[in-house]
Structure 1
Amino acid sequence: MILTLIVACEVGFWMAILTGLVVRYPLRRPRLGAALLVSAPVIDVVLLVLVATDLLRGGTASWQHGVAAIYIGFSVAFGHRVIAWADVRFAHRFAGGPAPVRLAGVSYTVACWKDVARTGLMVVIAGGLTWGLIVVANDPVSTAELLVNARILGVILVVDVVWALSYTIWPKRSPRASAAVES
């Protein structure tokens, strides 16, 4: 049941973003498009309430509850960036906006480290939500599986740090520099 709710909220989140961008650019209704984009985080609140309600009613915590916490943490930490990424592409395609900038070198490395900070925020939020779900359920036996989230979040953070570190050591080349080296 919870997995179905997570999938429905994920689909709803992306539909709100896609609909908001379509309404904003091709249909040229920027205010309505912005309202639809703002509705995307409301879907996360709905998911959080549904998951907490399930545990309050005596549901046994499972990996799906943990995924819900991670999903909400991701949405909060990365949601604005994801929307901005899509917005630039829609503006370029449908409203004559500037082409998206492809980062390379130091600018790409800096972006990677900013993502590490966002991932850290996601870990804090998802960890806090997981802890909150454990407290709300108030049953250590039924919530034991949620403790796996700590390891999952740790792996996610370590992978992101290694990713950023690799681009610090070996910066990403610009497409033009890569073409010149291959010639």
Structure 2
Amino acid sequence: MNEIGKFFAENPMAAVIAAGEIGFWVFIAAGLAVRYVLRARRASAVLLAMVPLVDVVVLVATVLDLSAGGRPGFTHGLAAVYLGFSVVFGPGMVRWADARFAHWFAGGSRAVPGGGAAGPGRPSGPAPPPKRQGREKARHEWREWAKCLLACGLAAAALLAAIFAIGEPERVAPLWAWFPRLGSVSVIWLFAGPVWEELFGKGEREEVRP
């Protein structure tokens, strides 16, 4: 624990990013729990509205740190990447969690204490979407990769904004180093996601089967 505390003390932006990620899921879990367990939709809406503010806090903390003379480093670049991916993938994560909370806490097929499924008379929430298969899964993988490109583009824009705002080549080298990393993420995602599914998935074989 001392080593972790020392790391965060020496890298405050890493602490901000970690707190942002924790806050992201805390607000989602709290908002959905309040909606489906306590049936307080207004309070739930307020908590879920706080989710995008986590990104704002990370952005403001990054700007303040650099404005105060902080030396741009790995964690500042990581903050830009976090923002890009959080903005693009965050809404989908909320929808994913919402579908499961609606199913679990509105009854659905969850078990009740003592064994068995939810009993008669209990509300039944809609089941989450079934697992994608065939061409639908391949199309989904292509869409997710397109979202990856958008997230990388937003992160690159944030990095460029910081680079030109600082304007000192010797200080911004760690930020430039993030561009090949973003390219690597895009390429790896391409081959591990849609290309893999097209080559080794069951999509085409399932559709041509009589």
Higher helix share: 1
Above 0.5 in TM-score? yes
User: Helix, strand or coil: the match of 1:136?
Assistant: helix
* Cα distance in structure 1, aligned partners of 2:196 and 2:98: 29
* Cα distance in structure 1, aligned partners of 2:94 and 2:133: 21
Structure 2 counterpart of 1:28, one-letter code: R
**Which residue does 2:126 correspond to in 1?**
98
1:68 paired with 2:79, answer: yes
Moved over 6 A (4+): none
Structure 2 counterpart of 1:142, one-letter code: R
* Cα distance in structure 2, aligned partners of 1:64 and 1:157: 20
Q: Structure 2 length normalisation: TM-score?
A: 0.79
Gap runs ≥5 in structure 1: 178-183
* Cα distance in structure 2, aligned partners of 1:53 and 1:135: 16
CA contact (8 A) 1:76 1:122 kept: yes
User: Following TM superposition, by how much is the alpha carbon of 1:152 offset from its aligned partner in structure 2, in angstroms?
Assistant: 1.3
User: Helix, strand or coil: the match of 1:70?
Assistant: helix
Tell which structure's C-alpha radius of gyration is larger. Answer: 2
Task: Give 1:21-170 correspondences, 5 Å limit.
Answer: 21-95=32-106, 96-100=124-128, 101-162=130-191, 163-170=193-200
Larger RCO, structures 1/2 (Cα 8 Å, 6+ apart):
1
Q: Structure 1 length normalisation: TM-score?
A: 0.90
User: Following TM superposition, by how much is the alpha carbon of 1:69 offset from its aligned partner in structure 2, in angstroms?
Assistant: 0.6
Gap runs ≥5 in structure 2: 1-11, 107-123
**Which segment is superposed worse, 77-86 or 93-102?**
93-102
Kindly tell me the number of residue pairs found equivalent between the two proteins.
174
User: Following TM superposition, by how much is the alpha carbon of 1:138 offset from its aligned partner in structure 2, in angstroms?
Assistant: 2.2
Aligned-residue sequence identity (percent) comes to 37
